[in-house]
Structure 1
């Protein structure tokens, strides 16, 4: 019979199976703007769910009840890295299309499934369970190392894609906290570290214990992986969707020395900003400003980069910070909080406001306000 010896760890894994299944289904079947990307993440979640089921089947010795349960392929670890990477690429670039050529990323998965077939064949011939076969003891450590290398490698590529996305975001959005993927960057980093920690486990198990460590010895790693994966899925589903206004990223333009014409246009641009106060719009983007000025976004980007030597975010935020400073010096806004003034001047996030202000002025907004009051007191 099936032995259900519940302990803290397998209780957590059972809970993760139900929670993971819920979020996996939500990601795959909920119709949202990022649905194609969410489907990829939903599959990642189900891979961890299947893996958790496999772990419990060993711990509960389910083959005593379902003799051939081990024949069901539940391990797809070599698909985790590619799926996570493709999810990141899709979420950071709406123009990124997944085609048949991307199937090459999943060729190692064929090796994993082939190993599963070989192990099952050995088990059937010898009338034993899969984990008791010689092929399992010889081949599974190899699969584990391949999975570790694959996931860490694809995690690194995913982190690079997010960093590149943030760089592009800064160039195209004046206020970008709503579009930030720092949460995903942190979680993928944690995910990669946990898989890296799997390495000493595998080495010690294979070299010292001749691959004889039980499931319970691996439970801490299993639990951490399950929690982290579900955490990523929950964050992705529950957070507001990242819907970029500019989905066509401009191609890089060869940089040239600023001409007299560009300098004149740069002066015109500054006049337009000062006259029309476009920077007060907290949702201002490169495209929306270009539409207001009736010029192409690529032309505007070149004008800001070459004519003013800045990126779009710095260009807009400097106006906002200067507007805040003017209000602070006027003395007419003492009844309004710093955050309230920042919102009036185009910021829509306290974190962004504090960070940008300090980057530009080299001092926090609060200390700057105190310095104004101190100078006024000394003047009196």
Structure 2
């Protein structure tokens, strides 16, 4: 048991220190504020487990506090991808499993000693522990699944808001990080079943869960601190009654936007968002999105990257850039990775950037 103490100490310090860093993070969003609370709760779980293992051994040896991790995961994801203010008024409904096992532990009265559990001989104690493990598994799987659905729906709409792809906007780190909780629980659950059939507990299976929780805390701390706010809330525009003046403005919008793109080249910013462009042009995101979707039939991602591809094509054939690498041309044209540059360029031209450059050079030699 003493070997597990460093996990509790490290987890406690890590969780609360990370909460402090997120608190001091500039431009915090609602998701960041929830993450601060989540990290504090994880630190409290580590402190509770440490006190229970060393000092107050009469405390309930049940999984209780971690029942909040599923709802935290769901609401944190929901706040990150929400395009309008989201209230957490119904979070208590999602915390009902935590309240249930808290009441059970209070009514049970005596602590549940892991060494007293035997699958064949100990009746109610073993079944309560098994019910506790199973309930936690079901809760975590459910919230992981609905969080995945939120992220999947978010990723399908990325092209309407972002001109690039990255780990922070696709939120794949949340899916991977949540796996640590599930992995830690599955390992501790299997260990619990094996040990309970033999009534031999060389260590508490919950320790495996805390090991996975420690890794998970490191993960969400690192990514959460670097996670930017994805959307800035804008009040929806009131729809005016159609008029001749509004129609003329709509007809000129595309020309105005195109001229701005050509003159100012905002697409060279490899992290350009539709909000950034709207702020620069002096219009709303709804106006840009409506024009691109209805008039051009493209999303923001395709519109911006078409300019980047044209910029890259110009640089690839210009002798002035002969000494620049393909990766350098990609970055200078507004792409944020070599992979996206090659993929989008080939999709547009049917050739890789190097093939395009060679084809242009060979055609020039033939013409001369």
The corresponding residue for 2:28 is 34
TM-score of the two chains, using structure 1 as the length reference: 0.75
The corresponding residue for 2:263 is 276
Q: CA deviation at 1:76?
A: 0.9
Q: Within 2, Cα distance between the matches of 1:11 and 1:101?
A: 36
- Give secondary structure in 1 for the equivalent of 2:163: coil
Whether the 8 Å CA contact 1:37–1:90 is kept in 2: the answer is: yes
- Cα deviation 1:96-117 (Å, max 9, x = unaligned): 4233223211112110101211
TM-score of the two chains, using structure 2 as the length reference: 0.77
- Cα deviation 1:263-315 (Å, max 9, x = unaligned): 96686367536643544441543244445555543232122112222111111
Q: Within 2, Cα distance between the matches of 1:264 and 1:79?
A: 52
Q: Within 2, Cα distance between the matches of 1:114 and 1:51?
A: 17
1:170 to 147, 154, 159: 159
Gaps of 5+ in 1: 254-259
The corresponding residue for 1:257 is none
Q: CA deviation at 1:325?
A: 0.8
The corresponding residue for 1:186 is 176
Gap change, CA 1:354 and 1:273, over 3 Å in 2: farther
2:131 to 127, 142, 164: 142
- Cα deviation 1:168-217 (Å, max 9, x = unaligned): 332112235385233333323444444455554454455x346x544355
Whether the 8 Å CA contact 1:73–1:113 is kept in 2: the answer is: no
The corresponding residue for 1:256 is none
Q: CA deviation at 1:81?
A: 0.2
Whether the 8 Å CA contact 2:31–2:79 is kept in 1: the answer is: yes
Gap change, CA 1:354 and 1:107, over 3 Å in 2: same
Whether 2:22 is the aligned partner of 1:18: answer no
Whether the 8 Å CA contact 2:73–2:147 is kept in 1: the answer is: yes
Whether the 8 Å CA contact 2:31–2:76 is kept in 1: the answer is: yes
Question: What's the Cα RMSD here?
Answer: 3.9
Q: CA deviation at 1:379?
A: 7.1
Gap change, CA 1:273 and 1:186, over 3 Å in 2: farther
Q: CA deviation at 1:46?
A: 4.0
Whether 2:104 is the aligned partner of 1:115: answer yes
Give the alignment of 1:213-362 within 5 angstroms. Answer: 213-217=201-205, 219-237=207-225, 239=226, 241-244=227-230, 246-248=232-234, 268=255, 271-272=258-259, 275-276=262-263, 278-282=265-269, 284-290=272-278, 295-350=283-338, 352-362=340-350
Gap change, CA 1:71 and 1:284, over 3 Å in 2: closer
Whether 2:143 is the aligned partner of 1:154: answer yes
Whether the 8 Å CA contact 2:15–2:39 is kept in 1: the answer is: yes
2:79 to 90, 99, 109: 90
Q: Within 2, Cα distance between the matches of 1:357 and 1:113?
A: 57
- Give secondary structure in 2 for the equivalent of 1:188: helix
Q: Within 2, Cα distance between the matches of 1:229 and 1:246?
A: 27
Gap change, CA 1:280 and 1:50, over 3 Å in 2: closer
Gaps of 5+ in 2: 118-122, 240-246
Gap change, CA 1:288 and 1:66, over 3 Å in 2: closer
Give the alignment of 1:41-80 within 5 angstroms. Answer: 41-53=35-47, 55-56=49-50, 62=54, 66=56, 68=58, 70=59, 75-80=64-69
Q: Within 2, Cα distance between the matches of 1:223 and 1:355?
A: 40
